[in-house]
A and B are shown apart, each in its own frame.
Chain A
Amino acid sequence: MSAHPQATATGKTGIIQMLGVHKWYGEFHVLRDIQLSVDQGEKIVICGPSGSGKSTMIRCINALEEYQRGQIIVDGVPLTNNLKNIDAVRREVGMVFQQFNLFPHLTVLENLTLAPLWVRKTPRREAEETAMYYLERVKIPDQARKYPGQLSGGQQQRVAIARSLCMRPKIMLFDEPTSALDPEMIKEVLDVMIELADEGMTMLCVTHEMGFARTVANRVIFMDAGQIVEQNEPEEFFNNPQSERTKLFLSQILSH
């Protein structure tokens, strides 16, 4: 039940700190005493059965969800009801969604430049250059003038990643980024994520891609019933799970 000793940042203040966070949906206790400290540059994969609260947990980090007890500090800014703090955190935290959530009425380029233009007040020229740079990075610069609806799912998700990166965030949150994709498109998205990880981005990924977890994660977190049940480095986590619930979960997803 308690956090694995070597995995939690010992004493140092991490870029993300969740201290005794609780959340309820009405009567339902979704997050129970979440203790999590993430160091700069750490890559964390969060897995667990559906309904275990893993999406809810990472959505608390950019205040898409409120929490009722405890404290979350992101990059030194405490997340409270203070809208200023929330905006400050959101500027530094990028998020990629399962359903991409691109803006369908804007072209790819406009999707990418929107937040830099209106939130960061970047000059248009510079914003467009940044956008093109990241489109190159996700390998679809030729789609800049198209609308999201004209792209494949994998391309859309890569645009979504580029859109977040254009804000030059310090942290990236991925909420099941490959779950809505056809199998043949999963790899192209994972490749982009692996590249990003290699460059030292702080990443929290909710995903069931265990191959990805083995390759890039510094730490794998297993959640069940709103709690962090177990966390460890990938080798240990997969080869030597401690709790019964983790063993059961791993046997279910790795059996085939």
Chain B
Amino acid sequence: MTQEHMHAAERPPALSVGPLGWARANLFNTWYNSVITLVILWAVIQAVPPLINWAFIDAVWGGGEPDACRVEGAGACWSFIGEKYRLILFGLYPFAEQWRPLLVMVLFIGLVVATMRRLLWGRSLIAAWGVSTVVMFALMYGGFLGLPFVANSYWGGLPLTVGLSTIGLVVAFPLGIILALGRRSNMPAVRTLCVVYIELIRGVPLITVLFMASVLFPLFLPTGVTIDKLLRAQVGLILFAAAYLAEVVRGGLQAIPKGQFEAADSLGLGYWSKMRLIILPQALRISIPPLVNTFIGFFKDTTLVIIIGLFDLLNAAKTALTDRAWAGFYMEAYLFCAIIYFAFCFTMSRYSQNLERKLRTGHARR
């Protein structure tokens, strides 16, 4: 049997397309979905207008006086942020020199934006990062060309948070990859060492690692030798992150089919070429979601350096609240921090999705 006429393409039924069709298909397709939709709609109507009133309409914007915020019916006291944002952003860094950390942050964000463009990936970008890192440290420390020296115990706020997490991840990531490879090694000694390290670090809270790095570690150093607190915290963070990243990478490695290893072997590739050219590019690509999850978690975990007395963003915000004239504006201080953290984390998250899409090569994995 054959069909005589080709069926002409028709428009879909009106109610299945457009916003109405969408709402019907997604919000009101069953009676319980309709109920859920209505309940959520009600909750949004209850919550959003008061929030907007508080944050914008009734908010106190200008004016450096705390009393303006204390009148009846006043909303958010943004003048508190206006007064204290430099303390929150840069911590105890000398007030007159705060253009330096600001410049560092601008430089850093510029580099990040450049790095997000895959077209620019290459040697010159790596060189740019290398040079900029030196410049950023030079700016932070000073002590040359008439710039006053600022010891790193005065560093704080956003540059500290960003610095600890960026350097932490940049060093911990390759370390994590090596640990993951070691854990899957055929050599029993290497494997055992990696397993013990990973399990030991994962079994201990980050606070403990930081505490050990800052308090216990110096006790074992010979007298007269000191390693500064910031460096110890950084090393603690790196050791901690490496163990977690190792497990994420291991998950990716395990997802690579045995045939990929065999194909690489049969072509005569050595272990390191095989890993670098064949296995890791695939393993890391499928690990992007959990990797970024770990990155984001780690970025926020740096707030724990507060317990060894470093002035990261959150600690700086807390310090701003200790000013008695401005006491009590917790909501504003934490909201301000939250927005900054969110901006960084959300950027990472969106970028990783974008990267995943771009690295897709249109294959069903074998």
Are A105 and B361 closer than 8 Å at their CB atoms? Answer: yes
Report the stretch among B120-128, B163-171, B275-283 that lies at the interface. B275-283
Are B362 and A101 closer than 8 Å at their CB atoms? Answer: no
How many chain A residues touch B (Cβ–Cβ < 8 Å)? 28
Are B278 and A103 closer than 8 Å at their CB atoms? Answer: yes
Q: Which residue in B262, B266, B277, B366 is a CB contact (below 8 Å) of A104?
A: B366
Contacts A99-B366, A102-B263, A104-B282 given: A147-B361 contact, CB under 8 Å? yes
Answer whether residue A167 sits at the interface, using C-beta atoms and an 8 A cutoff.
yes
A196 to B9 alpha-carbon distance, docked (Å): 50
A163 to B262 alpha-carbon distance, docked (Å): 14
A118 to B266 alpha-carbon distance, docked (Å): 13
Closest to A110 in B: B277
A101 to B22 alpha-carbon distance, docked (Å): 43
Answer whether residue B199 sits at the interface, using C-beta atoms and an 8 A cutoff.
no
What DSSP secondary structure best describes chain B's contact surface? helix
Residues of A within 8 A of B366 (CB): 99-102, 104
Q: Mark A145-156, 1 if CB is under 8 A from B, else 0.
A: 001111000000
Residues of A within 8 A of B268 (CB): 87, 90-91, 115, 119, 167
Are A64 and B282 closer than 8 Å at their CB atoms? Answer: no
Answer whether residue A34 sits at the interface, using C-beta atoms and an 8 A cutoff.
no
Are B363 and A150 closer than 8 Å at their CB atoms? Answer: yes
Those of A119-175 within 8 Å (CB) of chain B: 119, 147-150, 163-164, 167
A15 to B186 alpha-carbon distance, docked (Å): 31
Are A93 and B266 closer than 8 Å at their CB atoms? Answer: yes
Are B281 and A105 closer than 8 Å at their CB atoms? Answer: yes
Between A and B, how many residue pairs show CB distances below 8 Å?
A: 78
A125 to B259 alpha-carbon distance, docked (Å): 28
Are B365 and A104 closer than 8 Å at their CB atoms? Answer: yes
Are A148 and B262 closer than 8 Å at their CB atoms? Answer: no
A105 to B269 alpha-carbon distance, docked (Å): 17
Contacts A149-B361, A149-B364, A150-B362 given: A97-B263 contact, CB under 8 Å? yes
Answer whether residue B24 sits at the interface, using C-beta atoms and an 8 A cutoff.
no
Answer whether residue B270 sits at the interface, using C-beta atoms and an 8 A cutoff.
yes
Q: A62-B266, A103-B260, A149-B362 are in contact. List 15 more A-B contacts (CB 8 A).
A: A87-B270, A90-B267, A90-B268, A97-B263, A99-B259, A99-B366, A101-B366, A102-B263, A104-B363, A118-B273, A119-B267, A147-B361, A147-B363, A149-B363, A150-B363
